[in-house]
Structure 1
Amino acid sequence: EMHSGFGDLRNDCPMQLLRQWKGFQPSDGVRADLARIDELWDKAGNTFGGDGPWLFGDYSLADVFYAPGAARIAGYDLPVSDPCAAYVATHLADPAFRAWRAEGLKKRYDPEPYAQGLDSVDWPGPD
C-alpha cells in the first residue's frame, strides 16, 4: 500500500523536510489515509514488533517505505494516535533518517518548498 496508496496524504501534504507547518487542516481523505496507516502500523507492531521500536521489531524495509509517511505526519503536524506518534518520533531520531534528511537539505531549488501559507516552526526532530 505504501508504494502506491495514500494518495490524499501524498497530494495534500507534499514531501518536505524543512519545517513543521502549524494549523494544517487535513481533508477527510487525508484523515482516512491516516486512519489506515495507523491501523497498519498498529497491527504490524502488535503482531510482529516484539520489543523493538520498528514495525517488525528490528529496522526493516517496511520502515524504509514508511519513512516518507512519517515525515509527512511530522512535517504537517498531523493528528495521529499516541503509538503512531511514537513510531514517527522513532524515525525522526534515527541516525539513518537524519542522514537522509541532511542530504535532502543540501540543495534547495525553492527557498520555501511547498509553502502552505501557514505558521511554521523548526523541524520537529533532531538535526
Structure 2
Amino acid sequence: MADDGFQLIIGNKNTSSWSLRPWLAFKQAGIPFKEVRINLRAPDMKVQILAHSPAGKVPVLWVGDLMIWDSLAILEFLADRYPEKALWPEPLAARAVARAASAEMHSGFQPLREHCPMKFLSKEPRSELPEAVDDNIRRVVGLWKDCRSRFGADGPFLFSRFSIADAMYAPVASRLRTYVTDLGAFGDDGTAAAYIDALFALPAMEEWAQGAREEMAAR
C-alpha cells in the first residue's frame, strides 16, 4: 500500500450524513487529510463520484492506492491504523457495546432516514411524525441513555470520550435538532438533549456547519 496521505471524498455538508461521520472522526482524532467535496446536486454528480469510486457513493477514502468506500469501514480503518487515538473505547464491554450501537446505526433506522433527511442548518419542527419514525427516535433516546449511564460517567459523550459511536450518531443528533421540538415526548430525561448539545459544541461540528453555510450561499 503506497501511502501518499489521506484523501476523503465527501458530499454536500448540509445533507450528506454519511460524509459527516468519517470527516468528524478525522477532525476529532487530529489526523490530517485532504478534503475533496462533490456537489451532489450537480448534473454530472454521478460521473464525478465514479471518478473516485466504482461504488458510486460518498464518502470514499483514498490512502495512496488503497480505496475504502464505506463510512464505517473508513472509521474502522482509522481505529486500526491509529490505535493510540482510542477511537473505540478501551474497556472490552464498552467497546463491544460501542460497536453494536454503531452497527445498528449503520444498518437500521430506515424510517428516520427516509422521513427526516439530514438538513444540518435547518430548523423544521414537526408536530407529528410517522409512527415508525417515533419508534426510531425512542430507540435512539433509549440507546443514548443506556450508553451514557453505563459508560459515560467520565465525559460528555456516549462512552465518556469521543469515539466512533459518536461519529456514527452525529447526523442523528442533527436530524433531531432539525425536526424534534420535545425529546421528552420520546422518553428523554435530559440525557439525549445534553448529548446533542455536547456534540454541537465541538469546534469540528461548527467547522462543518460553516462549510454548509458557504455551500448554501454559493448556490
* TM-score under structure 1 length normalisation: 0.78
Match of 2:214 among 106, 110, 114: 106
Greater relative contact order: 1 or 2 (C-alpha under 8 angstroms, separation 6 or more)?
1
Deviations 1:65-115 (A, max 9, x none): 000000000011253212111111111221111112222332249x6xxxx
Rounded to whole Å, the distance in 1 between the matches of 2:213 and 2:152 is 31
Unpaired runs of 5+ residues, structure 1, are: 112-127
The residue number in structure 2 matching 1:117 is none
Rounded to whole Å, the distance in 2 between the matches of 1:22 and 1:67 is 18
Deviations 1:12-65 (A, max 9, x none): 111111221134422111110011111211111111112311000001111000
Matched letter for residue 160 of structure 2: G
Rounded to whole Å, the distance in 2 between the matches of 1:47 and 1:14 is 30
Distance change (3 Å), C-alpha of 1:64 and 1:26 = same
Rounded to whole Å, the distance in 1 between the matches of 2:139 and 2:158 is 15
Q: Aligned pairs, how many?
A: 111
Percentage of identical aligned residues? 35
The residue number in structure 2 matching 1:83 is 191
Distance change (3 Å), C-alpha of 1:78 and 1:7 = farther
Unpaired runs of 5+ residues, structure 2, are: 1-103
Matched letter for residue 87 of structure 1: Y
Rounded to whole Å, the distance in 1 between the matches of 2:117 and 2:127 is 12
2:147/2:159 contact within 8 Å kept: yes
Shifted more, 23-32 versus 67-76: the winner is 23-32
Matched letter for residue 74 of structure 1: R
Greater helix content: 2
Match of 1:62 among 165, 175, 183: 165
Matched letter for residue 92 of structure 1: F
Tell me if 1:49 matches 2:157: no
Rounded to whole Å, the distance in 2 between the matches of 1:79 and 1:31 is 12
Larger radius of gyration: 2
Stretches of 4+ aligned residues off by more than 3 angstroms: none
